[in-house]
Structure 1
Amino acid sequence: MPLVHIDLIEGRSHEQLAQMCKDVTAAIVKNTGAPAEHVHIVLNEMSKDHYSVAGVLKADE
């Protein structure tokens, strides 16, 4: 059972997230041979207040 965790900053639409999950699932199926129904994806959306690059919160950019 492939289990994929994707961390990303919030702000994408439902449609964008759904398409990303379809594309990631297709890539896993293509490259591992696992059946699509065995591919699990966990999306972790972070607020811009909870993510920093080089000491600067994304909310402050």
Structure 2
Amino acid sequence: MPVIQVNMIEGRSEKQKEALIQELTEACYKAISAPHESVRVLINEIPKKHYGIGGKTAEKLGR
């Protein structure tokens, strides 16, 4: 059972996250022939104030 973990800055819509789950599942199926129902995708959303880029928070950078 493949498990894919995604860490990303918060702020994407539910529709975008659903599309990401679908596309990652399909990519896993194509790459290693894993049955769709066996693929697990975990999305960890990081608050912008807890995500650092170049020494500054994403929040301060306006991301």
Partner of 1:60: 60
Matched positions, count: 61
Distance in 2 between residues matched to 1:53 and 1:10, nearest whole Å: 14
Q: Which runs of 5+ in 2 are unaligned?
A: none
Give the alignment's Cα RMSD to 1 decimal: 0.5
Give the TM-score taking structure 1 as reference length: 0.96
Q: Distance in 1 between matches of 2:21 and 2:42?
A: 9
Unaligned 5+ residue runs, structure 1?
none
Match runs of 1:18-33 below 5 Å = 18-33=18-33
Return the offset for 1:39.
Answer: 0.2
Q: Residue 7 of structure 1 corresponds to which residue in structure 2? A: 7
Question: Structure 1 residue runs of 4+, over 2 Å off?
Answer: none
Higher helix share: 1
